[in-house]
Structure 1
Amino acid sequence: MTQPVALVTGITGQDGSYLAELLLDKGYTVVGMHRRSSTLNFERIHHIQDRLILEPGDLLDEVSMMRILRSYHPTEVYNLAAQSFVQTSFGQPVLTGETTALGVTRLLDAIRMVDPKIRFYQASTSEMFGKAQQVPQSEQTPFYPRSPYGVAKVYGHWITINYRESYGMHASSGILFNHESPRRGLEFVTRKVTYAVAQIVCGLTDKVTLGNLDAQRDWGFAGDYVEAMWLMLQQDEPSDYVVATGETHSVRELCECAFGAANLDWEKYVKVDEHFMRPAEVDLLIGDASKAHRKLGWAPTMSFRELVETMVKADIALLSARSR
């Protein structure tokens, strides 16, 4: 039996690295698409880099994606690449739209022209719900995005459905709620907090500045969520799935848990600055993943507290190693 081939865009990101590990463990040949730049960052995939095929390509360039598809003949494509930071999308709305919205169309169209039998996964997001119209949010909840990133993701979600229905493609979207890990970028609030705790423990700073402490999110472990991605493409029929824990926690709770893991009182170190407030805030996101439980047999394995404590320990170990 021939070894299955998967193409992963955004392979150098948090989700890309966990998904690549999962696919390698399942016997796939993994082709990772990355943007060519003067400073390549392969830190998250360094430990598996010798087992991957890495190809330069860009969601802004359909020709580069067609070249990769024709060269490696993947059976599955996972589109994880995007301008994925909400705050940045307010400052760079056009670039966010080009990459996060139109980039999905370019990749779907490349697949349609090269081999429409390829199974396609689109990384959708809970940010599409934005000003949530119902609680909890399911696959039937209307979208109300509150950032250029959320708007672009809604476009990517609907163009995936459009290609599925127009061309009979096996194209599925995972509406993933916030998912974190020690590999999360420092610009995201979870990692910003856990890294700050590590800096304080190591004597490198004495505070962390945040925005809205009352914002509530459904936070899970990224390693769990990539398994749901893979499961979607193993189904006979394509569909869309909410992937979430079904629990909500505030940024304040995140601080309490992270600082508590280091036996620190968070209120002594956390400062609030309006500069970090979004122009349009998303206050409450909590997902109903019952369809994923029922159809995919998927369930999260790591609790919120375990996740935050794992991230704090990893960041303390990281900074301690650097100071040696």
Structure 2
Amino acid sequence: MPTALITGVTGQDGLYLSELLLAKGYEVYGLVRGQNNPKVDVVRRIDGLKLLYGDLTDLSSLLRAVHSARPDEIYNLGAISYVAYSWENARLTSDVTGMGVLNMLEATRLYCADDPGRVRFYQASSSEMFGKVQEVPQRESTLLWPRSPYGVSKVYGHYMTINYRESYGMHASSGILFNHESPRRGPEFVTRKVTRAVARIVLGLQETLELGNLDARRDWGFAGDYVEAMWLMLQQETADDYVISTGETHSIRELLDVAFAHAGIADWTSYVSLNPELLRPAEVDLLIGDSTKAREQLGWKPKVGFEEMIRMMVDADVAEQRASVS
């Protein structure tokens, strides 16, 4: 039975990944920060998942967690992942999302110093690293030009992963994942913010929705598909970096079209207002990935399309909001 350790296990990706690995017969450990973490109850519902406590900013706690789990695979998903918040607290974002990667890599290196390739390491890189895009579509070789403290921190972690792979011979791979969503997405992210608001509007619980840049375009996929790509990366004989994306781009306006239409509202314009305070200080206007390498080398491709995913999220939010008032 292989063993995996997942940081950021309480997040959307951590939940899907833990379920995937458990279904494949893994022994799975999830790292959570602090015993009063409000999201711990969510992961405790996953049958078979074992919890360890640690903090990405505390190397000693990560060493203890690695020695306790004795993993064959480590998936470093932990981060402060809300881009807008990264401007409000750039230092904390840098410590967790950037330096946290270094701490996790170092804990892994020390644990398997006698055989650097014994533990396979996955780093959750991000399409936000491309920022002010220098090439369309974006691929593994595209110049990185981050436009937020979050993006800068992810670039640091990405290159540190490459450095540990090249310096110490570690089996360390990075997945440059484009936006991936699901009903488990946090309500602060724009897709879930929209689908949750749509649900509340049709149920009479909310009147309007405030958004920022409606013309920003993203390559949106389903998180359940993307965690499979993470696993496939660590099954390869040689570690490498892969763009994971759908190769399609959609605007916030298209997101609104699909979400409101699924709820029976053909014209959403009277329900949506623009709030300049929600605009990013430095906007990323167009992200679209080229996942040819992942498709050819990993045999991966997305299964859930954009409209199907948004409809899934609206249905889940309608059910959740209805249950909350019943």
TM-score, length-scaled by structure 1:
0.98
Question: Which residue is equivalent to 1:298?
Answer: 300
Structure 2 Cα separation of the partners of residues 263 and 40 of structure 1 = 35
Look up the SS of the partner of 1:231 in the other structure: helix
Q: Percent identity?
A: 60
Question: Which residue is equivalent to 2:255?
Answer: 254
Structure 2 Cα separation of the partners of residues 32 and 69 of structure 1 = 11
Measure how far apart 1:45 and its partner are: 2.7
Q: Which of 91, 94, 111 is residue 91 of structure 2 equivalent to? A: 94
Determine if the alignment matches structure 1 residue 17 to structure 2 residue 15.
Answer: yes
Q: CA deviation digits over 1:157-187, x for unaligned, max 9?
A: 0000000000000000000000000000000
Equivalent residues of 1:9, 1:81 under 8 A apart: yes
> Any runs of at least 4 consecutive aligned residues in structure 1 with deviations exceeding 3 A, and if so which?
none
Question: Which residue is equivalent to 2:179?
Answer: 178
Look up the SS of the partner of 2:52 in the other structure: strand
The verdict on how the C-alpha distance between 1:43 and 1:313 changes in structure 2, with shifts beyond 3 A counting, is: farther
Q: CA deviation digits over 1:130-172, x for unaligned, max 9?
A: 0100100000100000000000000000000000000000000
Structure 1 Cα separation of the partners of residues 87 and 166 of structure 2 = 32
Equivalent residues of 2:243, 2:289 under 8 A apart: yes
RMSD of aligned Cα (Å): 0.9
- Letter of the 2:235 counterpart: Q
Question: Which residue is equivalent to 1:111?
Answer: 108
Q: Which of 34, 38, 41 is residue 40 of structure 1 equivalent to? A: 38
The verdict on how the C-alpha distance between 1:160 and 1:39 changes in structure 2, with shifts beyond 3 A counting, is: closer
Look up the SS of the partner of 2:45 in the other structure: helix
User: 1:198-237 maps to which residues of 2 (within 5 A)?
Assistant: 198-237=199-238
- Letter of the 2:90 counterpart: P
Question: Which residue is equivalent to 1:124?
Answer: 125
Q: Which of 69, 80, 83 is residue 83 of structure 1 equivalent to? A: 80
Look up the SS of the partner of 1:263 in the other structure: coil
Measure how far apart 1:46 and its partner are: 4.4
- Letter of the 1:306 counterpart: E
The aligned length equals 321
Structure 1 Cα separation of the partners of residues 250 and 60 of structure 2 = 43
Equivalent residues of 2:35, 2:53 under 8 A apart: no
Equivalent residues of 1:12, 1:43 under 8 A apart: no
Q: Which of 287, 291, 301 is residue 289 of structure 2 equivalent to? A: 287
Gaps of 5+ in 2: none
Measure how far apart 1:44 and its partner are: 4.1
TM-score, length-scaled by structure 2:
0.97
Higher alpha-carbon deviation: 297-306 or 259-268:
259-268
Q: Which of 279, 297, 310 is residue 312 of structure 2 equivalent to? A: 310
Equivalent residues of 1:176, 1:244 under 8 A apart: yes
Gaps of 5+ in 1: none
